Structure 1
Amino acid sequence: MIVSATKTQAGTAAEGRDGAQAPRLSTDFLNNFSEALMLIELAASDPGIVEDLQAWRSIGYREHFEASSLRCASAALAAYDGVDPRRRQAFEQVCQSMTRLVMTVNALLVELPRPAELPLIIEVASEALRKLISRSAQFINANGTVDIATFDDAALQKEIDRLLVR
């Protein structure tokens, strides 16, 4: 049986002390960064996509859900408020890193003439952005109970495996 480490940890964090469902963070927020990733990857082969990427704007977790009409928006905000402030700050720093990465690629895509190494830059930036999105998703799926600054996929999976052996 394969068990996702973050889903197992998220499942234990979902119930409050009184047995009621605790508010949960939501990965819907990451759709904005996934859209930027898609646009970056498409821009390598379709220069017309650059305008769409130029229009992309970063938005914070709180701002995203304050403007959202999703049913889970208020719960996602309540969960976010419940995350340890140091972990929340580390998560926000990862989000800022993703934004800087997107903006850097954005600037290179409008540069004329385009750098000869642009395809390699896009490949490297896309991989880095994909990893940061994945790390952010794991933080959100664990409902903020992992320290994103020191998050180690392998160590977390080992801990979950150890718990499942019991």
Structure 2
Amino acid sequence: MECLHPVLGAGELAAERLEQANINPQTGLATDYLNHFNEVMMLLEMLPDMPDCAEDVLEWEPLDYEGHFENSSFKDKNLAIMAYHAAPNFLREHLEKQVAGINRLVGKIQDQLRETPDPAKIATDIADRATNEIKPLIAVAGAVIHGHVEPEATQHEGEGAQAEIDALFA
């Protein structure tokens, strides 16, 4: 007997159920995941006015999609994880690419904070960098979750990716 994988729009992953759980029924992805990044973004932007937030920034750790939901109080976290696995590969890969960029930039900022004796002196530069470099990646991640992927973003992922995008929203 063949093992059946859940399919978006059917059974446990029916569109209505996903919508009720705040999971995009077309992509299988939930914006709740972005809360993890919005949290550190808020801390980074507060640094100029509250340099003691540096400690909280240093405590922040990357979490992948599943890890976020496993550790969250999200009501339908098991559904979110199941839907993530049913999401089209090109969307998951594109989301993970954005997340890797966010994690890399936050890691560099954390290194800067660890290396400076006075975080207040670099707080404005860090906040500007976060606003100009991290915030746009979070916005792109949000767009991916909502199924808005620029065709150029998937060109390196194979010709099938655009066909999947077209089929997904046909």
Q: Could you state the TM-score of these two structures normalised by the residue count of structure 2?
A: 0.66
Question: What is the CA distance between 1:102 and its match in structure 2?
Answer: 0.9
Deviation by residue 1:120-139 (Cα, 9 ceiling, x = unmatched): 34303322211111111111
CA distance in 2, matches of 1:95, 1:147: 17
Of residues 119, 124, 133 in structure 2, which corresponds to 1:119?
A: 124
Question: What is the CA distance between 1:39 and its match in structure 2?
Answer: 0.9
CA distance in 2, matches of 1:99, 1:90: 14
CA distance in 1, matches of 2:68, 2:150: 22
Counterpart amino acid of residue 15 in structure 2: Q
For residue 16 of structure 1, what is the aligned residue in structure 2? Answer: 9
Percent of aligned positions with the same letter in both sequences?
30
Question: What is the CA distance between 1:72 and its match in structure 2?
Answer: 2.2
Moved over 4 A (4+): 113-118
8 Å Cα contact 1:108-1:114 kept in structure 2: no
Structure 1: state its 5+ residue gaps.
Answer: 1-14, 152-166
CA distance in 2, matches of 1:106, 1:50: 8
For residue 107 of structure 1, what is the aligned residue in structure 2? Answer: 111
CA distance in 2, matches of 1:138, 1:39: 23
For residue 73 of structure 2, what is the aligned residue in structure 1? Answer: 69
CA distance in 2, matches of 1:92, 1:110: 26
Of residues 144, 150, 153 in structure 2, which corresponds to 1:150?
A: 153
Q: Could you state the TM-score of these two structures normalised by the residue count of structure 1?
A: 0.67
For residue 137 of structure 2, what is the aligned residue in structure 1? Answer: 132
Of residues 31, 49, 61 in structure 1, which corresponds to 2:35?
A: 31
Counterpart amino acid of residue 153 in structure 2: T
For residue 164 of structure 2, what is the aligned residue in structure 1? Answer: none
Number of aligned residue pairs: 135
8 Å Cα contact 1:43-1:49 kept in structure 2: yes
8 Å Cα contact 1:42-1:49 kept in structure 2: yes
Q: CA RMSD in A?
A: 3.0
Counterpart amino acid of residue 150 in structure 1: A
SS in 1 for 2:116: coil
8 Å Cα contact 1:41-1:122 kept in structure 2: yes
Of residues 87, 91, 95 in structure 2, which corresponds to 1:87?
A: 91
**How has the CA–CA distance of structure 1 residues 107 and 75 changed in structure 2, closer, same or farther, with 3 Å as cutoff?**
same
Relative contact order (C-alpha < 8 Å, sep 6+): which is higher? Answer: 1
Question: What is the CA distance between 1:93 and its match in structure 2?
Answer: 1.7
